[in-house]
């Protein structure tokens, strides 16, 4: 059996830059599972492989197409699925990824044959065995975590709670063959390491906490460090939604990194309250290579932080910034602008960030489908276009200005912050080649609208 693994092209603002581009780790895991089972698999990363879909299908001649995607890629995934079916209706199409896992009913109107709504891969392997016909006793009813059609109606099998400890070590041959493509600003080349499912916290705006049925599961420290030791790159992004969970876990991570003499730079996500309350650990993490923390500071007001169920305060934010700065760890601060802000609020937020050693990313408050707060705000959405749930569009009516005026204030503040930090070490890789990349990307997008 031949399987084509598709990662759709990036949509939205990040399609215009090559400065933040991660390896297709999810496809590498699928590739590993398929090859281990004796099937032939081909990775088709449409962010970089500009071969048309028709040509790729003609070259590979797949029996099955598997495709992953994020929430903003839903229309594109449906479009590509329809094109696969138009080319050959006999090809089975399986859709998965974080958005399908959480919001699989959204794809009931697609031409997909199967929807995979689990974090792990055990049942994916079983589905592939079923499609290959290698186990005559296996039925679709036996495979948890899938949706499929039966007599014209969608059947949804039960979910399972899984652990990333069950994942295989990914075959990274595709990554190493294209290693120069992947990085995060100056950190390149950069590999990804999957270490956990879900998140132990419950921020209302984040739907990652609902993955794996809302059950947080993490690999052992030894398992994590053993994989890191095999990576032939200088930079590693541990992709946990929050890596800073347990003091005991982190002390063991530090010990093993030292014991194995691993010399790498690490990028992680973490919480401000943990950093503020664990200065000793942050100092030791910096000593073993921690170089950048993407930390959700979110706001500069305690009341606003409470509204996000952050269980953190402005004091935590201040201490977090100080500790990271004093240990030469880049603070990639994540902030939210919300629809109750006026012009002064935007100005105050800019001033607070600009006075501190922070490389900020500012998002617009977005109730994302699948997050805890979505139902609360669903009736107030000014657009149902799921492509605008990208954290860069205003999809709720602002209280003090129009949507257009709010958007202008947001982009004005974002541009001022970019100019303020233009000489930061993190941005030194940005140059004329990025302008040329934008032109190239626009041309490719235009071409793909007309070429199957």
Number of domains in the chain: 2
Q: Are residues 283 and 212 in the same domain?
A: yes
Domain span at residue 246? 182-421
Q: Are residues 249 and 397 in the same domain?
A: yes
> What's the maximum distance between 2 C-alpha atoms anywhere in the chain?
67
Could you tell me if residue 452 is inside a domain? no
* Mean pLDDT for all residues in the chain: 90
Q: Are residues 215 and 361 in the same domain?
A: yes
- Tell me which H or E stretch contains 297: strand 290-298
Q: Are residues 238 and 358 in the same domain?
A: yes
Chain-centroid distance, C-alpha 356: 27
Using CB atoms within 10 Å of the CB of residue 22, give its burial: 0 to 12 exposed, 13 to 18 middle, 19+ buried: middle
Identify the CA nearest to 222 among candidates 278, 165, 263: 165
How many other C-beta atoms are found inside a 10 Å radius of the C-beta of residue 261?
Answer: 7
Could you tell me if residue 441 is inside a domain? no
Question: Are 321 and 333 spatial neighbours (Cβ–Cβ below 8 Å)?
Answer: yes
pLDDT of residue 10: 85
Could you tell me if residue 433 is inside a domain? no
pLDDT of residue 441: 57
Which two tokens mark 192? Answer: 């990804």
CATH number for the domain harbouring residue 334: 3.80.30.20
In sequence order, the 6+-apart residues with CB closer than 8 A to the CB of 26 are 7, 68, 97
pLDDT string in tens for the chain (452-residue length):
999 999 999 886 655 566 788 999 999 999 999 999 999 999 999 988 889 999 999 999 999 999 999 999 999 999 999 999 999 999 999 999 999 999 999 999 999 999 999 999 999 999 999 999 999 899 999 999 999 999 989 999 999 989 889 999 999 999 999 999 899 989 999 999 999 988 777 666 676 777 877 778 889 999 999 999 999 999 999 999 999 999 999 999 999 999 999 999 999 999 999 999 999 999 999 999 999 999 988 877 767 767 666 677 888 999 999 999 999 999 999 999 999 999 999 999 999 999 999 999 999 999 888 887 888 888 989 999 999 999 999 999 999 999 999 999 999 999 999 999 888 888 776 655 555 555 555 566 555 665 56
Could you tell me if residue 138 is inside a domain? yes
CA dist 202 and 207 (Å) reads 9
Strand partners, 265: 235
Q: Are residues 212 and 108 in the same domain?
A: no
- Tell me which H or E stretch contains 345: helix 343-354
Q: Are residues 310 and 253 in the same domain?
A: yes
Q: Are residues 146 and 18 in the same domain?
A: yes
Identify the CA nearest to 334 among candidates 359, 305, 312: 359
Task: Give CA separation, 103 vs 118, 156, 396, in Å.
Answer: 11, 12, 21
- How many helices (H) and strands (E) the chain has is answered by 16, 17
Question: Are 255 and 275 spatial neighbours (Cβ–Cβ below 8 Å)?
Answer: no
Chain-centroid distance, C-alpha 387: 15
Q: Are residues 296 and 363 in the same domain?
A: yes
pLDDT in tens, 292-349: 999 988 877 767 767 666 677 888 999 999 999 999 999 999 999 999 999 999 999 9
pLDDT of residue 272: 94
Q: Are residues 151 and 198 in the same domain?
A: no
CA dist 157 and 140 (Å) reads 9
Question: Are 97 and 70 spatial neighbours (Cβ–Cβ below 8 Å)?
Answer: yes
CA dist 173 and 178 (Å) reads 9
Question: Are 315 and 351 spatial neighbours (Cβ–Cβ below 8 Å)?
Answer: no
Question: Are 257 and 225 spatial neighbours (Cβ–Cβ below 8 Å)?
Answer: yes
CATH number for the domain harbouring residue 45: 3.40.50.280
Could you tell me if residue 296 is inside a domain? yes
Using CB atoms within 10 Å of the CB of residue 150, give its burial: 0 to 12 exposed, 13 to 18 middle, 19+ buried: exposed
CA dist 243 and 275 (Å) reads 11
Strand partners, 197: 217
Q: Are residues 44 and 79 in the same domain?
A: yes
**Coil vs helix vs strand at 330:** strand
Which two tokens mark 200? Answer: 């132990």
CA dist 287 and 282 (Å) reads 9
Q: Are residues 332 and 200 in the same domain?
A: yes
| Cα angle, residue 237 at apex, residues 193 and 165 outer, rounded to 5° | 20
Could you tell me if residue 245 is inside a domain? yes
Q: Are residues 213 and 315 in the same domain?
A: yes
pTM over 0.85: yes
Could you tell me if residue 55 is inside a domain? yes
Could you tell me if residue 386 is inside a domain? yes
């Amino acid at each position: 059996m031949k399987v084509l693994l598709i990662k759709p092209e990036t949509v939205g603002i990040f399609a215009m830059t090559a400065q933040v581009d991660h390896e297709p780790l999810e496809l590498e895991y699928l590739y590993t599972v398929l090859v281990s089972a004796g099937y032939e698999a081909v990775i088709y990363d449409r962010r970089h492989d500009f071969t048309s879909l028709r040509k790729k299908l003609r070259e590979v001649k797949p029996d099955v197409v598997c495709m992953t995607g994020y929430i903003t890629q839903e229309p594109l995934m449906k479009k590509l699925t329809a094109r696969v079916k138009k080319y050959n209706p006999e090809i089975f199409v399986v859709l998965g990824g974080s958005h399908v896992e959480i919001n699989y009913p959204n794809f009931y109107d697609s031409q997909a044959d199967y929807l995979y709504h689990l974090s792990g891969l055990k049942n994916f392997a079983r589905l592939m065995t079923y499609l290959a016909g290698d186990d005559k006793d296996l039925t679709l009813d036996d495979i948890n975590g899938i949706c499929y059609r039966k007599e014209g109606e969608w059947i949804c099998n039960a979910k399972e709670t899984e652990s990333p400890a069950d994942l295989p070590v990914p075959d990274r041959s595709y990554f190493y063959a294209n290693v120069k493509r992947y990085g995060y600003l100056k950190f390149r080349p950069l590999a990804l390491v999957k270490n956990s499912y879900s998140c132990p916290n419950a921020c209302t705006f984040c739907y990652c906490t609902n993955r794996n049925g809302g059950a947080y599961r993490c690999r052992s420290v030894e398992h994590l460090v053993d994989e890191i030791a095999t990576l032939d790159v200088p930079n590693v992004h541990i992709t946990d939604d929050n890596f800073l969970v347990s003091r005991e876990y982190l002390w063991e991570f530090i010990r093993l990194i030292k014991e194995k003499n691993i010399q790498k730079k690490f990028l992680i996500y973490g919480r401000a309250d943990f950093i503020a309350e664990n200065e000793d650990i942050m100092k030791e993490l910096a000593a073993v290579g921690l170089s950048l923390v993407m930390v959700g500071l979110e706001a500069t007001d305690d009341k606003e932080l409470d509204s996000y169920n952050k269980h953190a305060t402005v004091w935590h934010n201040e201490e977090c910034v100080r500790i990271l700065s004093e240990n030469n760890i880049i603070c990639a601060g994540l902030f939210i602008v919300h629809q109750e802000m006026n012009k002064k609020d935007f100005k105050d937020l800019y001033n607070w960030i600009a006075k501190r050693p922070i490389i900020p990313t500012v998002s617009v408050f977005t109730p994302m489908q699948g997050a805890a707060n979505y139902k609360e705000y669903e009736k107030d959405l000014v657009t149902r276009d799921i492509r605008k749930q990208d954290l860069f569009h205003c999809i709720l009516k602002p209280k003090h200005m129009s949507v257009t005026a709010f958007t202008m204030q947001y982009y004005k503040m974002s541009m001022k912050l970019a100019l303020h930090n233009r000489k930061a070490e993190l941005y030194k890789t940005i140059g004329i080649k990025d302008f040329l990349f934008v032109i190239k990307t626009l041309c490719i997008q235009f071409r793909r609208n007309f070429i199957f």
